[in-house]
């Protein structure tokens, strides 16, 4: 699986300026986008232009994994491993996602990685 952290930000412009000063480059989206993907060295970081929605269990920083293979296989694998899927959600930009929580309560989302 490929890890891609997602950070909910209050001000996309200020956040982009901050990450660009760290050396990040925009590879998807732009300053007026609701969702931006940055490349910072070997790491990709997603920025979401809205605060985390605590009523949906979102946290300011989420871990997103792009998984190979159909999500149904991953859902069965998680179930067999004793990891409950708390939600199957559909995101406009990221597609269908399996949502689980780490033992510490961190929201982790798994989506099917594009080939």
At 8-26, the pLDDT tens digits run: 998 999 999 999 998 999 9
**CATH code of the domain in which 54 resides:** 3.10.180.10
* Interatomic CA distance for residues 68 and 83, integer angstroms: 18
Q: What is the pLDDT of residues 42-91, one digit of tens each?
A: 999 999 999 888 888 788 888 888 888 889 999 999 999 999 999 988 87
Domain of residue 65 covers 2-112
Domain count for the chain, please give it.
1
Nearest to 108 by CA among 77, 76, 83, 79: 83
- Which contacts qualify for 98-107: CB closer than 8 Å, 24 or more apart? 98/71, 98/74, 99/57, 101/57, 105/59, 106/59, 106/61, 106/62, 106/63, 107/57, 107/58, 107/59, 107/62, 107/63
pTM equals: 0.74
């Amino acid at each position: 699986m490929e890890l891609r952290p997602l950070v909910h930000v209050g001000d996309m412009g200020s956040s982009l300026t901050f990450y660009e000063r760290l050396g990040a480059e925009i590879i998807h989206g732009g300053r007026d986008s609701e969702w931006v993907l940055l490349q910072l060295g070997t790491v990709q970081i997603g920025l979401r232009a809205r605060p985390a929605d605590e009523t949906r269990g979102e946290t300011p920083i989420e871990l997103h994994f792009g998984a190979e293979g159909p999500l149904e296989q991953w859902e069965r694998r998680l179930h067999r491993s004793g990891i409950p899927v708390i939600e199957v959600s559909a995101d406009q930009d990221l597609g269908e996602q399996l949502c689980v929580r780490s033992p510490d309560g961190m929201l982790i989302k798994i989506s099917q990685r594009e080939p």
